[in-house]
Amino acid sequence: MTAVVDQRYPLVPEGPLSSWVHRFRLELIRRGFTPRTAQDNAYVLACLSRWMDREGLGAGQLGAAELERFAVRRRELGYRRWRSVRSLAAMLEFLRVAGVIPAAPPAPADQVTALLAEFGTYLRHERRLGECTVALRQHLARRFLLAVCPDGQACLDRVCPDLLTGFITAQRGVYAVSSMKQLTCALRSLLRFLFSTGRTGADLSAAVPSVAGWRLGPLPAPAGADVLPALLDSCDRTDGVGMRDYAVLMLMGGLGLRAVEISRLLLEDVHWRTGQITVRGKGGRLDRMPLPGDIGAAIAGYLQHGRRPSACREVFLRHFGPDAPASRRAIIAVPRRAAGRAGIPVTGPHRLRHRLACQVLAEGGNLGEIAQLLRHHSHETTAIYAKIDMAALAAPARPWPGAEAGRS
């Protein structure tokens, strides 16, 4: 490690930030990033420094407008990464903490931003929604509010049924049916919030038009070939990443855990003596489930040989970068990467849950067992699997009128 840390940056940077390029690289390595990632980030900082030199800018002149110009220039040159100011956040934070460049200007305060923050609090405390759902509804509500109030001032007296219908109609070419349902759901939540807080004189949630698309209409996708063995075989269990991915896939395929439930799993949630595991589900729900021996062995192998030393209580951690738990997005990416290694179509966590439900039905299980295994809040969610059991559905089905005469 000493040889890597002491190695100088291979290029000679120029410009007002040149003396900070190598320091930034060493700081990233200290945080746990790989030398290659640190070098790539430092290279972009060197590019920024050279661009400032050509533009005649000093370190104290690097503001929001200049950063945007640099990002635009990178897009014009065809770069595929670090094309926006947001992507430069790590280096900008490093330079600002060191006092090299001016501090970030405060975000402009507007009524829409304040309203969305209060809306998020309402969803968390009054509706008991999870953070992912809150973030999605705030994002969709922002689209509506900015369409109604483009200047950031909440002109809620303009909201009326015609405006709601026009907004939903205009979005139908942007979103698919399932996303349109999310949009209308978020909009109804926002309108109920506005009415309950006295910002509107009437509850207009009923004026939001419904989206045509019946949840239980089509048949669910067939389970298809069992992809789990191929996904598991693609994991290299000689290194920490492979051990982590193997344990994650075992939890998805064997217990049907969601990605967010795996990311929330704590060390104390695995009860080794009783052979059980506590699952922290949606809406603060806690469930105790039996922990099969093969899944427990996969988790134990990762904890003993693959997990980096950490003060975090989460079971699954990042393997590169700062010491932190693996995020929900990182867990979602595990089966997707494994499918790429195995040479099979892209597979997500939901497909593994679907596979498990189909497997229970194939072995003679019923819908109650599926609901309990997958921890569904509503039996309507489990009802989609009733249509998979064609043999059971064929028994009560009546023959089509005239079918016998047609065959004769």
Helices (H), 197-279: 228-233, 240-255, 259-263
Question: Residue 81 corresponds to which tokens in the numbers above?
Answer: 């990464």
- Give me the CATH code for the 111-206 domain, please: 1.10.150
Identified catalytic residue from 73, 282, 337, 375? 282
Residue 23 known to be catalytic:
no
Identified catalytic residue from 143, 337, 350, 375? 350
Residue 282 known to be catalytic:
yes
Question: Residue 178 corresponds to which tokens in the numbers above?
Answer: 């399932």
Residues carrying CATH 1.10.443.10, the chain:
228-391
- Block means of pLDDT (10 residues each) for the chain, 408 residues, are 44 83 92 89 93 92 92 92 91 93 74 88 87 89 83 72 88 81 92 90 88 63 72 94 96 92 95 94 84 96 94 93 90 94 90 85 79 77 64 58 57
At the second CATH level, the architecture of 228-391 is Orthogonal Bundle (1.10)
Give pLDDT, residue 362.
77
> What pTM, to 2 d.p., does this model score?
0.70
Residues carrying CATH 1.10.150, the chain:
111-206
Residue 375 known to be catalytic:
no
- Contact between 201 and 368 under an 8 Å Cβ cutoff? The reply is no
- Contact between 279 and 221 under an 8 Å Cβ cutoff? The reply is no
Give pLDDT, residue 327.
92
Pairing of strands 276-280, 286-290: antiparallel
* Alpha-carbon span 371 to 380, nearest angstrom: 10
Residue 387 known to be catalytic:
no
**Phi, psi at residue 279, to the nearest 5°?**
-105, 125
Residue 385 known to be catalytic:
yes
Residue 127 known to be catalytic:
no
User: DSSP character for 219?
Assistant: P
